[in-house]
Amino acid sequence: MRTLLNALYRASGAAAALGMIATLVMVMTGVVSRPLGIYLRGTDDYAGYCMAACGFLALAYTFKHGEHIRVSLVIERLGPKMRRAAEWMSLAAGTLVSGALAWYSIQLVWQSHQFGDVSPGVDATPLWIPQIGMAAGCLVFFIALLDDLVTTSLGRAPHRFAHANDEPAHME
């Protein structure tokens, strides 16, 4: 199961990286084509879609690498028992919030598909297509938080990746 979860987090990170590259390609295409008098419809919109997908798809990967911002001013002053309880409560709250975000993101994709919503821009893209990146990123982030919540509940340290070789590392 750990191998499958790690592969999911890495795949989400890779998809975020592809979203960054796609954003760059869309922006550069617009920058290069405009002075040449060539108008490519939707490059600005597609760059925005890719950027949004990139942000959401990177959530789980950066979380598992310990790169999310933590305000530990209060938690670091607590004793070991209280610190574990505070960390567990933080994970529980994060899991609940991310679960709600994932649920409503998936609902948004489904409703956009059902209603046939299209973007108001010149590209007229069905909105459910770019919304998939947001929903997928939220779902994988929820899984990552749930993974840490279950692991912490079992009394083990949450699984983290090291930066150098993407091997597991346990960081506090």
pLDDT in tens, 103-119: 999 999 999 999 999 98
CA atoms within 13 A on the CB side of 72: 10
What residue segments make up the domains of the chain, in order of their start?
2-169
Q: What is the mean pLDDT of the chain?
A: 88
Report the pLDDT averaged over residues 77-99. 91
Report the pLDDT averaged over residues 83-111. 95
pTM metric for this prediction: 0.86
